[in-house]
Amino acid sequence: MERKKIHPSAPKLLQECLALAASPLAGAPLCGIADDGMIQKIKTESQVTDLGGKIAVVTGASRGLGQRVAWRLSQLGADVALLARSEAALQHLQQKMAAHGARTLAVPVDVGDPQSVHRAKGVIERDLGIPSILVNAAGVFGPIDLVKDSDPAAWIETMRINTIGPYLTCRAFVGGMMDRGWGRIVNVSSAAALHEPGPINSAYGTSKAALNQFTRHLASELKGTGVTANAIHPGDVKTDMWEYIKGASQRLGSAAEAYSKWADWVQETGGDDPEKAANLIADLMSENAAGVNGRFLWIQDGLQSPIPSWGESEDLPPWRE
């Protein structure tokens, strides 16, 4: 692993990272800024992370990105607790994964409900053990409306699932990781929290911006513990959430033009392969990513170029392109 101070050598290092990023070699390089302010390049071409003996919790595992991440963590050897509300979908997935030799546990939960998360923690620790990996992929897009027209219940529900949910699951599992001196938390955020805010999706954007800030607070508590917490943009992916946004923006007409365009763009391009998000999360599991903490991370070769987040010098290019 290579580590350098942000100034004056960081731009060169970032360029090297970007060059590696463009390489056709399998495996993406990972760049990040460590706890001590050092920027580091992590070459992952030949890394195979073995998660054997580790227990992972993946929320939003019933479909979409969470399901893909659950598969990947299982392929790397982890036992995986599959969390979402739809019990039937979780059980179906569990059966499919079991047919491939995976050890999983289907745990129906509402991530935004403290009691539900408390119950889930008890079941996971009893039946699988103490988790050292947590991926918070559960999420909803929420109301697509002007603030003045929005339904308060739907707006609050979006915050409850997208922001309170990850808080509750992190709270439930981070102590066990700290006790063992190793852990990885990945909060699936969104580029929407970094873009210039536009009309009609204040609930989603606010919930993800709050998730970013929560992740940073948590990361600051985790320095030196062996546990890391990061937020990611998983790409622009044709999931049920995309379908929901497409339908809602068509109904709203010109008021939702930006969303219609986004939905069309994802349709035309086919969207990002969700494997890219799984790759990024797999990279974060490696020992070489031990110093990447409190960052906003991007997938490799995403349709959308990375945009600046925090902790970056203003004259630096984005973390990854």
The site for ligand NAP (CB under 6 A) is made up of 59-60, 62-66, 84-86, 89, 109-112, 137-140, 161, 188, 190, 233-234, 236-237, 239-242
What's the min distance (Å) between Cβ of 263 and ligand NAP?
Answer: 10
Under 8 Å between Cβ of 227 and 185: yes
Of 74, 167, 202, 204, catalytic: 204
Of 189, 249, 286, 309, catalytic: 189
Residue 21's nearest CA partner among 31, 12, 34, 11 is 31
Which residue, chain included where needed, has tokens 């970056």? Answer: 312
What's the min distance (Å) between Cβ of 255 and ligand NAP?
Answer: 21
- Whether 96 sits among the annotated catalytic residues: the reply is no
- Whether 167 sits among the annotated catalytic residues: the reply is no
Nearer to ligand NAP, 187 or 288 (CB): 187
- Residue-wise burial string across 76-113, b where 16 or more C-beta atoms lie within 10 A, e elsewhere: bebbbbbbbbeeebbeebbeebeeeebebbbbbbbbbb
Structure tokens at 81: 């607790």
What's the min distance (Å) between Cβ of 55 and ligand NAP?
Answer: 19
- Whether 121 sits among the annotated catalytic residues: the reply is no
Residue 135 host element (H or E): strand 133-136
Is 125 buried (19+), middle (13-18) or exposed (0-12) by CB count in 10 A?
middle
Nearer to ligand NAP, 83 or 227 (CB): 83
Nearer to ligand NAP, 39 or 61 (CB): 61
Nearer to ligand NAP, 169 or 286 (CB): 169
Q: Which residues are catalytic?
A: 189, 204, 208
